[in-house]
Homo-oligomer: A and B are copies of this chain.
Amino acid sequence: MIKQSAYGTEPWRLVENRLDLDLLAQSESIFALSNGHIGLRGNLDEGDPHGLPGSYLNSFYEVRPLPYAEAGYGFPDDGQNVINVTNGKIIRLLVDDEPFDIRYGTLHSHERVLDMKAGTLTRTVEWSSPAGARVKVTSVRLVSLTQRAIAAVNYTVEAVGAKLRLVLQSEIVANEELPQRSKDPRVAAVMENPLVSEEHQCTNDTGPARAILVHKTRASGLRIAAAMSHVITGPEKMATRIESYPDLGRLTIAAEVGAGEKVQLVKFIGYGWSSQRSKPAVVDQVSAALAAAHLTGWDGLLAEQRAYLDAFWEGADVEVEGDTEIQQAVRFGLFHILQAGARAEHRPIAAKGLTGTGYDGHTFWDTETFVLPVLMYTHPSAAADALRWRHLTLNEARRHAAQLGLDGAAFAWRTIHGEECSGYWPAGTAAFHINADIADAVARYLDATEDAEFEREVALELLVETARLWRSLGQHNAAGNFRIEGVTGPDEYSAVKDNNIYTNLMAQRNLACAADLAVKLPDEAGRLGVTTEEVASWRDAAAAMYIPFDDRLGVHQQHEGFTDYARWDFKNTGQDHYPLLLHFPYFQLYRKQVVKQADLVLAMYMRPDAFTPEQKARNFAYYEPLTVRDSSLSACTQGVMAAEVGQLDLAHDYLAEAALMDLRDVEHNTSDGVHMASLAGSWMALVAGFGGMRAGAGLLAFSPRLPGGIARICFRLRYRGRKLRITIGPDQALYELLDGKALEIIHHGKEFKLTKKSVELDIPPATAGPRPEQPPGRMPYNRSS
């Protein structure tokens, strides 16, 4: 685990003062820069040492055959893996005779700063070679939020104390050698030499020294062009040379630098890729992007970056008083979510964004369930773009449904391009809830934005096709209940069960929303073949939906029969046996009362209307001792529901676990990329937890209440074209409408109208039972100690 102070506690900056080589891979994920189109891991400029070299382009992947010991009908033949593309961020340095490599010589000082207002990663190093030649290296790196195809590095070397001979090599490198990764099935399979060279060029005849490499992937047939171009400032005695090879472009700058003198290299990196466009078209596209970046210049890129972020934070910032770690972490989370989604533009947002190869670069349900709600209320166009990507995969989803013998659309459990890539169907295809999660995000987005164009173009079809899926997936039994059998809910320690409560409740909402929108848009619905009979059948199914409840215990069942199972033997399960899935067979996990991640508890957050307050408290108390949190998707949800049932300190603990997932490497796999959903979950635990925000079904409600350890929270929201600011103290909540028309809001169950005049309301005291226990050893961080 990363120790507490690795990145300091500054509210807007992560500051690393010491380079720990054992944690290099984790820091590369944390310091990754992205705009949702390009992602660059925080690798050191000189390439070595590294944890995992990584440069990614959204949806640029290779296919690989999926092997099975015993195959079955419909098992996907091929997987999709994000691949490490041409690396444009390498700048090597020779100091007199010695390569600049911090593992040799003396590292006098090291600092890396991720500035969440500037959108830059700055590195400052003072180093002496083994021979005693001393340099100060400063590099500032950005991936432009305003110029989608562009990344840039401003690299400065200063000779400290004596005249030096310096050689800089600025490179673009394809097919980098990658380290062999762990055997953990969750870690992406490594793809070796995925890129086949198509062309390489370099020139410094006219304008800045440029090189370009064009490659194609072997199996998926995608074409990529990566180019670099430079602005060089340095001493008089300086020579440059540019070369290109199939897998390498290299600009070499040799200079004699006097003491205190510098060489400065501004490097612009352009990326373009296409599955269809010709080689000249892709080459021209990248060259054009570089030309535009040169025109803007380094300072211009910096200014644009800051302006973009200022606008974002204005509608998205969350202030936390009393817990500086959480303050930093929640901004860190928002920053990475913005990076993942800002310029994805009809491409998916992966579970790890573009920060690493974890989960093969796939997108799952947690994008819709955890990440998009944050974007909906902070940067709604990015949420719309991500849902438009889902909409673009409707054909694959329809084919998948047909293959499964179902109507409508069955979206892939894990994918990059839309095809199902899950190699273990009980925890893949069977997790149909992803379809209701997508539908929920669609409905929630409509509620948050009233985006009429999206409603017509995207929302209706997504809701209709998923409703059709549910209608064909479930069936009425003799008693008239509508039942959905043999599916897997969010909790992956149960699989292929009957009537998973989360699935049934989300399907119910899906069916109802589809019916409502089809009635609202009769012409468009008619074009999709929707009839009044079909709408009626959705409403009937929703009304008859079976919700499993154990009368004896007075709690809901995560799935039918769950509470009849034996409880997991927590007492005899050592802490070194977590996560359980790496130490126990699925067979045992599936047949016991043990919960990997919030499932029923998530249902209580997503469908607050389906439970009474008493049921929520009783369910929460029952499931809490069964939930081991072997998934990063759990703590935030448990935090939200802990807050709702009045367990405020526990909610604070869960908030911390979610918020610090990557900054503390809680699950020991931040090296593969940061956990977007958990980072989003820190926002959720604050806003939906301590803010008590519930939205998505027509009314915006808050039930704010703070734990002892937090003095004040202030968060900003965008909602239906408005900007809101809500400030929560121990006893009062202040509601402000910063922009837009008046609206109705519910505060602790009472509706009021918020106009330009801010409203301060009292917070009623919480009532709660005893703090529930977690399984032995599985309690979250204790923030109060």
Contact = CB atoms under 8 A, between A and B. Distances in A.
Given A561-B560, A591-B485, A586 B67 contact: no
Interface string A589-624: 011000000000000000000000000000000000
A769 interface: no
A185 B71 contact: yes
A73 B422 contact: no
A426 interface: yes
Contact of A581 (B72, B423, B427): B72
Contact of A496 (B66, B422, B485, B590): B590
Given A73-B584, A583-B73, A587-B430, A475 B566 contact: yes
A410 to B, nearest CB: 10
Interface string A452-490: 000000000000000000000001011000010110000
B587 A486 contact: yes
B66 A585 contact: no
Interface string A493-505: 0011010000000
Nearest to A586: B72
A67 B70 contact: no
A74 interface: yes
B72 A425 contact: no
Nearest to A550: B478
Interface in A389-408: 403-405
A405 B584 CA distance: 8
A565 interface: yes
A588 interface: yes
A79 interface: yes
B67 A69 contact: yes
Contacts of A495: 496
Contacts of A565: 475, 485
A564 interface: yes
A69 B429 CA distance: 14
A582 to B, nearest CB: 6
A268 B314 CA distance: 92
A478 B585 CA distance: 25
A72 B585 contact: yes
A527 interface: no
A630 to B, nearest CB: 12
B585 A74 contact: yes
Contacts of A584: 73-74, 405
Interface string A61-77: 00000111111111110
14 contacts: A67-B69, A68-B68, A68-B69, A69-B75, A69-B423, A70-B424, A70-B428, A71-B185, A72-B424, A72-B585, A425-B586, A483-B564, A485-B565, A486-B591
Interface of A: 66-76, 79, 185, 403-405, 422-430, 475, 477-478, 483, 485-486, 495-496, 498, 552, 560-561, 564-566, 581-588, 590-591
Given A70-B422, A74-B587, 9 more contacts: A66-B69, A69-B76, A70-B185, A70-B427, A72-B424, A74-B585, A405-B588, A478-B564, A486-B590
